[in-house]
């Protein structure tokens, strides 16, 4: 049989390429950050695209006070914590990719959550040894130590121009004075009502009078306002020590969790070297581990650079992109984790020679079944996490993807703090070879260990070219990686910010061995051709919430666009 023969070639090729690179593997390193030359020009105006108009406007408010893109990012992220808590917030974490116009430097901020030191994998198993999905996704055991406050303090103090009292002011005001929740937040609260009802402080915050808030009514969060105020006054200490830390630990432990004051006091947001890759004259600056996103995007682009996608019919273009996605996600599952804990063969995964080997295993007109390797389960792309993009008048650029993980995180609010805790522990491979909520499988590299960061798919990315640059990112669990990849390819094809966010999407993540397709992404003839090549096309509800800002250096024009799939977003240029 034709395919079996090729399959053996594929396996052999994978083994040979992996083996060679393992032998050569030293300490994990990311590709050198060859920073683009500082832009000679300045746009002279700013663009912000975020998932909520109140957050976009908070960013502009802080720019008007003399802030730069990084101060604006602090305002946008903290306001999202108040108005879009179903997606991200003070009890979660984020990843940020920054371009500093003055020096041309690119920086990555890792404000990812960590496992508490007392983490015990047995807590995520039922007595019969099956995975306990409730412990992984709801309540205090599902929560990692938050990174968002430390990350924002680092962003403000090292890269911003304004004090936190100014950049956090819009969030504090919005939480204290109140706002009208948008339909998406109301829907999220209704959807999670049963879980919220399990914890009194969650009821007090999200179910006033025992019911979800009503559309059109003002909703306030004075506890969260107070916690942000403490952070504005004391920096990290306002959250990770003293009053707030004590309240967080007391609440978590009273509800069966295992956090300690030390876990909080020891948390640090980290600066890391971003992954940088050249592709068709553009420099892509993206997320390193503990995100898998940048490694996967680089691996996919390295494979794709061997093809002339522009000259292909849509079915073959999709075929080669899907095969590259499949191979990158296989490596995601097998190798990646927190760089402070695991040795990863990044030199191999980022090497063009490794990509050459993988490319050779791709057949011209035929899908490669993932079952040539292991097999896997269903997947829910999820819609809870947020991304925003900013370019300021001086050409500073920042993309931040921020999350509490699943819808309203753990649904657990720590009494007296207004802090809704994340459920990021599910991003660890809590039970080996069992899928997380995004259908992702993990290996030992992503096993839970005290102090370790769980692997993420968050991929805030910069695309820096001679004539045009862009900040691109989106939520969507494992689909983040393929959305950002498709966004990068569309930008390089010359598309505008508005087109990029609206483009229809497809996704393959190795397992399950299916291509998720948004209605309209392929016409009937292309779908038929892909089926003939061996692909299973699986229709999915639209996914993602992409927010993009582009900069055309030729006329210094900025464009900002928010995903039309979600009406609450706002992309604005001023």
Footprint of ligand DON on this chain (CB under 6 A)? Answer: 382-385, 403, 405, 424, 427, 456-458, 475-477, 480
Q: Can you say whether residue 66 is alpha, beta or left, with left for phi > 0 and alpha for psi between -120 and 50 degrees?
A: left
Helix and strand numbers, DSSP H then E, in the chain: 21, 18
User: In the complex, what is the shortest distance from the CB of residue 297 to ligand DON, in angstroms, rounded to a whole number?
Assistant: 14
Cα separation of the two ends of the chain = 61
Contacts of 410 (CB under 8 A, 6+ apart): 137, 138, 139, 140, 142, 143, 404, 420, 421, 422, 423
User: In the complex, what is the shortest distance from the CB of residue 398 to ligand DON, in angstroms, rounded to a whole number?
Assistant: 18
- Confirm if 295 and 336 have CB atoms less than 8 A apart: yes
Element at 277 (helix H, strand E) = strand 275-279
User: In the complex, what is the shortest distance from the CB of residue 546 to ligand DON, in angstroms, rounded to a whole number?
Assistant: 11
Q: Whose Cβ is closer to ligand DON: residue 276's or residue 401's? A: 401
Please write down the HEC assignment for all residues of 36-80: CCCCCCCCCCCEEEECCHHHHHHHHHHHHCCCCHHHHHHHHHHHH
Q: Whose Cβ is closer to ligand DON: residue 383's or residue 441's? A: 383
- Confirm if 300 and 307 have CB atoms less than 8 A apart: no
Q: Whose Cβ is closer to ligand DON: residue 67's or residue 399's? A: 399
Q: Whose Cβ is closer to ligand DON: residue 267's or residue 320's? A: 267
Is 550 in a helix, a strand, or coil?
strand
From the candidates 17, 385, 386, 403, give the one annotated as an active-site residue: 385
Q: Whose Cβ is closer to ligand DON: residue 392's or residue 503's? A: 503
C-alpha–C-alpha distance, residues 293 and 282, integer Å: 18
User: In the complex, what is the shortest distance from the CB of residue 195 to ligand DON, in angstroms, rounded to a whole number?
Assistant: 16
Active site residue 401: no
In the numeric block, the tokens 């917030």 are attached to 89
* Residue closest to 261 by CA, chosen among 423, 118, 453, 138: 118
Q: Whose Cβ is closer to ligand DON: residue 224's or residue 483's? A: 483
Both tokens of residue 63?
């720019």
Is 111 in a helix, a strand, or coil?
strand
Mind telling me the catalytic residues? 385
């Amino acid at each position: 049989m034709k395919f079996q023969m090729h399959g053996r070639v594929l396996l052999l090729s994978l083994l040979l390429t992996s083996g060679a690179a393992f032998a050569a593997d030293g300490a994990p390193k990311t590709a050198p950050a060859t920073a683009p030359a500082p832009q000679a020009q300045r746009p002279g105006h700013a663009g912000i695209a975020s998932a909520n108009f109140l957050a976009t406007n908070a960013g502009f408010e802080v720019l008007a006070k003399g802030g730069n893109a990084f101060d604006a990012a602090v305002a946008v992220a903290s306001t999202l914590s108040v108005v879009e808590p179903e997606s991200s917030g003070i009890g979660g974490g984020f990843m940020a990719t920054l371009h500093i116009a003055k020096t041309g430097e690119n920086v990555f901020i890792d404000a990812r959550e960590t496992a508490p030191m007392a983490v015990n994998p047995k807590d995520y198993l039922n007595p019969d040894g099956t995975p306990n999905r409730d412990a992984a996704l709801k309540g205090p055991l599902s929560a990692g130590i938050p990174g968002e406050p430390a990350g924002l303090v680092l962003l403000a103090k090292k890269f911003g121009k304004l004090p936190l009292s100014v950049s956090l002011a819009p969030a504090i005001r919005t939480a204290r004075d109140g706002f009208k929740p948008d339909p998406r937040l109301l829907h999220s609260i209704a959807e999670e009502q049963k879980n919220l009802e399990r914890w009194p402080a969650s009821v007090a915050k999200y179910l006033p009078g025992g019911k979800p808030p009503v559309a059109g009514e003002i909703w306030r969060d004075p506890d969260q306002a107070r916690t942000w105020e403490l952070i504005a006054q004391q920096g990290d200490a306002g959250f990770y020590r003293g009053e707030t830390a004590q309240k967080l630990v007391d609440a978590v432990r009273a509800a069966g969790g295992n956090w300690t004051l030390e876990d909080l006091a020891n948390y640090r947001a980290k600066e890391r070297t971003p992954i940088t890759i050249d592709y068709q004259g553009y420099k892509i600056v993206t997320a390193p581990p503990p995100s898998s996103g940048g490694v996967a995007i680089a691996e996919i682009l390295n494979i794709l650079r061997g093809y002339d996608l522009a000259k292909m019919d849509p079915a073959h273009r999709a075929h080669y992109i899907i095969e590259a996605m499949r191979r990158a996600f296989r490596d995601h599952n097998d190798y990646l984790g927190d760089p402070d804990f695991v040795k990863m063969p990044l030199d191999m995964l980022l090497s063009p020679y490794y990509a050459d080997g993988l490319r050779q295993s791709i057949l011209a007109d035929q899908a490669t079944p993932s079952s040539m390797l292991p097999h896997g389960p269903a997947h829910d792309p999820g819609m809870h996490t947020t991304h925003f993009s900013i370019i300021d008048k001086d050409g500073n650029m920042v993309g931040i993807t921020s999350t509490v993980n699943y819808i309203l995180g753990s649904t657990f609010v720590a009494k007296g703090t207004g802090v809704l805790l994340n459920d990021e522990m599910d991003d660890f491979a809590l039970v080996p070879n069992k899928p997380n909520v995004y259908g992702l499988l993990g290996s030992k590299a992503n096993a839970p260990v005290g102090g370790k960061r769980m692997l993420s798919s968050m991929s805030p990315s910069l695309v820096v070219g001679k004539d045009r640059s862009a900040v691109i990112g989106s939520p969507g669990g494992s689909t983040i990686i393929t959305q950002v990849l498709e966004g990068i390819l569309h930008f390089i094809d010359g598309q505008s910010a508005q087109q990029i966010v609206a483009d229809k999407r497809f996704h393959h993540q190795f397992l399950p061995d299916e291509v998720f397709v948004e209605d309209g992404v392929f016409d009937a003839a292309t779908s038929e051709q892909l089926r003939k090549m061996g692909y299973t096309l699986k229709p999915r509800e639209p996914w993602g919430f992409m927010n993009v800002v582009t900069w055309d250096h030729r006329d210094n024009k900025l464009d900002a666009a928010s995903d039309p799939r979600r009406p609450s977003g706002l992309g604005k240029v001023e």
